């Protein structure tokens, strides 16, 4: 451990204890609470006072006081330890990083947005210290999360909007995975410059949202489903009421309140210490439908909430959006069959397909290419159900590079809906290789 870390630890211990004392005194004797930015400002003052005390001691001993660079580093380290994720925070604050995985306090792997993977520095003094950091962060959330031997798995949204998963006590060492979201990418138009979609596809996708198509965004892990969904959501008119349902908050719609002033986000919750209070995705989806939504948005379908969503889509709740794990746009149907078979009603494939065909307008598949670029590969229109099969037209399908290219036209009914939403069908005919349905 470096001298700087020794200093940070010493300052953190003194400041942490003093901060706790002052906060307790304010609540007990003055009847006021010190929280948020006020607590952070108080911590800064206490750090400054402690560093000045250490400087005075070193001068008395004839030693050189802490230089300005080390002073800034210690201040940040102590604040990160008290209010953030300690040494992990440096990676969370780096916009070039997309994923952080920690296999024990001293084994850290960083994946950058360009696809490069590098090894990071240790993020704690020990595995016990790492566990303490994550437990403290879990208690800071808008709803306190439990992480201990009785509840060894943790899913948590960080203040940055990023998603943290942690597991311990059932693994050899504590394992932390942090998926970082790029909230700067939040409009469909940006995806043209990134090579994710073409300009004609941009106009089609935007019209699908405005025409209130019920759309499933599909793809594998790390394909970019959440970012793509966020871009679709931000095409929804600002006067509509959005209710989002997520296992852990990742869409970050609250960051765009200027685009969606009437928005409520719902997050599932595990049971508390007494084993009660659990709220699953399906219960939240059912409740969301009672909240007068103009749009129901489900962050990721992977259980019986699929039935609630599909029933809503067949009962006039148009404009719904959700994501699902699938290797292709056609693979979505098998996934939905599986989820519906797991419900209490135990749907047979034919019944599941009928429900899908009545509720869903289109599936958009997104994938990550070998060069790490994320691209839309397919847009598939649902046109009906035939026994164990869902009938569909692949409007856009992957070319030899995996990028979506035009194949077939929409059915007359859906094309009319798109045109009523302002879509110019010449965007379809402008592509070589496009064939009328």
Q: Is the pLDDT reported for residue 158 higher than 90? A: no
User: Across 74-83, 298-307, 374-383, which has the greatest mean pLDDT?
Assistant: 374-383
Q: Are residues 33 and 117 in the same domain?
A: no
How confident is residue 437, by pLDDT bands cut at 50, 70 and 90? very low
Query: What is the per-residue pLDDT across 92-112, written as a single tens digit (0 to 9) for each?
Result: 999 999 999 999 999 999 999
Q: Are residues 153 and 74 in the same domain?
A: no
In a domain? residue 137 = yes
Q: What angle do CA 114, 117, 122 make, to 5 degrees?
A: 130
Contacts of 24 (CB under 8 A, 6+ apart): none
Q: CA torsion angle for 52, 54, 60, 66 (degrees, to 10)?
A: -80
Q: Is the pLDDT reported for residue 403 higher than 50? A: yes
Residue 33 sits in which domain range?
A: 1-83
In a domain? residue 437 = no
CATH classification of the domain holding 269: 3.40.50.300
How confident is residue 5, by pLDDT bands cut at 50, 70 and 90? low
Q: Are residues 281 and 419 in the same domain?
A: yes
Number of domains in the chain: 3
Q: Are residues 243 and 348 in the same domain?
A: yes
Q: Are residues 376 and 233 in the same domain?
A: yes
In a domain? residue 434 = no
Q: Is the pLDDT reported for residue 2 higher than 60? A: no
Written as six digits, the tokens of 151 are: 């509840």
Compute the mean pLDDT over every residue in the chain, rounded to the nearest whole number: 89
For residues 217 and 181, which has the higher predicted lDDT (pLDDT)? 217
In a domain? residue 89 = no
Query: What is the per-residue pLDDT across 190-236, written as a single tens digit (0 to 9) for each?
Result: 999 999 999 999 999 999 999 999 999 999 988 999 999 999 999 99
- pLDDT at residue 1 in the model: 44
In a domain? residue 170 = yes
Q: Are residues 31 and 119 in the same domain?
A: no
Reduced to 3 states (helix: H, G, I; strand: E, B; else coil), residue 140 is: helix
How confident is residue 435, by pLDDT bands cut at 50, 70 and 90? very low
Q: Are residues 309 and 235 in the same domain?
A: yes
Query: What is the per-residue pLDDT across 63-79, written as a single tens digit (0 to 9) for each?
Result: 888 888 888 888 888 88
In a domain? residue 111 = yes
- pLDDT at residue 433 in the model: 38
Domain boundary residue, one of 164, 180, 196: 180
pTM of the full predicted structure? Answer: 0.82
CATH classification of the domain holding 163: 3.30.450.90
- pLDDT at residue 143 in the model: 62
Q: Are residues 49 and 161 in the same domain?
A: no
Choose among 202, 396, 216: nearest CA to 305. 216
Q: Are residues 279 and 158 in the same domain?
A: no
Q: Are residues 252 and 341 in the same domain?
A: yes
In a domain? residue 435 = no
Give 281's DSSP letter. Answer: H
Q: Are residues 73 and 46 in the same domain?
A: yes
In a domain? residue 88 = no
Domain boundary residue, one of 83, 115, 135: 83
Domain boundary residue, one of 34, 61, 83: 83
Q: Are residues 229 and 257 in the same domain?
A: yes
Q: Is the pLDDT reported for residue 121 higher than 60? A: yes
Q: Is the pLDDT reported for residue 238 higher than 50? A: yes
Helix (DSSP H) and strand (DSSP E) numbers for the chain: 14, 15
Angle between helix 199-210 and helix 412-420 axes, rounded to 10 deg: 90
Neighbours of 190 (CB within 10 A): 15
């Amino acid at each position: 451990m470096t001298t700087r870390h020794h200093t940070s630890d010493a300052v953190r211990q003194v400041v942490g204890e003093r901060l706790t004392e002052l906060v307790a005194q304010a609540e007990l004797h003055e009847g006021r609470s010190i929280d948020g930015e006020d607590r952070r400002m108080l911590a800064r003052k206490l750090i400054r006072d402690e560093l000045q005390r250490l400087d005075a001691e070193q001068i008395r001993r004839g030693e050189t006081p802490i230089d300005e660079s080390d002073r800034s580093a210690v201040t940040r380290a102590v604040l990160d330890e008290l209010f953030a994720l300690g040494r992990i925070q440096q990676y969370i604050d780096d916009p070039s990083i997309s994923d952080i995985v920690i296999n024990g306090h001293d084994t850290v792997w960083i994946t950058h947005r360009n696809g490069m993977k590098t090894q990071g520095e240790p993020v704690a003094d020990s595995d016990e210290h790492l566990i303490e950091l994550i437990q403290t962060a879990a208690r800071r959330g808008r709803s306190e999360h439990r992480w201990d031997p009785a509840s060894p798995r943790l899913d948590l949204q960080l203040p940055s909007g990023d998603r943290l998963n942690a597991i311990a006590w059932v693994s050899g060492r504590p394992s932390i995975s942090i998926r970082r979201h790029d909230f700067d990418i939040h409009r469909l138009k940006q995806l043209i410059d990134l090579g994710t979609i073409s300009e004609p596809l941009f106009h089609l996708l935007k019209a699908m949202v405005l025409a209130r198509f019920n759309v499933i965004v599909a793809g594998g892990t790390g394909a970019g489903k959440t970012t793509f969904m966020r871009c679709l959501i931000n095409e929804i008119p600002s006067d509509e009421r959005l209710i989002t349902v997520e296992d852990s908050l990742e869409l970050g719609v609250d960051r765009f309140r200027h685009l969606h002033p009437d928005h409520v986000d719902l997050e599932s919750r595990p049971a508390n210490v007494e084993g009660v209070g659990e709220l699953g995705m399906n219960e939240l989806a059912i409740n969301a439908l009672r909240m007068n939504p103009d749009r129901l948005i489900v962050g990721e379908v992977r259980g019986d909430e699929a039935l609630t969503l599909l029933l809503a889509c067949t009962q006039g709740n148009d404009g719904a959006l959700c994501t699902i794990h699938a290797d292709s746009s056609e693979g979505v149907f098998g996934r939905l069959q599986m989820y519906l078979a797991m419900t209490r009603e135990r749907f047979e494939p034919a019944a599941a397909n009928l429900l899908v065909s009545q509720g869903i307008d289109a599936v958009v598949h997104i994938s990550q290419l070998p060069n790490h670029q994320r691209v839309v590969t397919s847009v598939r229109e649902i046109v009906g159900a035939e026994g164990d099969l869902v009938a569909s037209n692949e409007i856009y399908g992957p070319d030899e590079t995996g990028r979506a290219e035009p194949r077939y036209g929409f059915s007359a009914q859906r094309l009319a809906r798109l045109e009523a939403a302002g879509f110019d069908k010449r965007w379809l005919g402008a592509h070589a290789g496009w064939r009328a349905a």
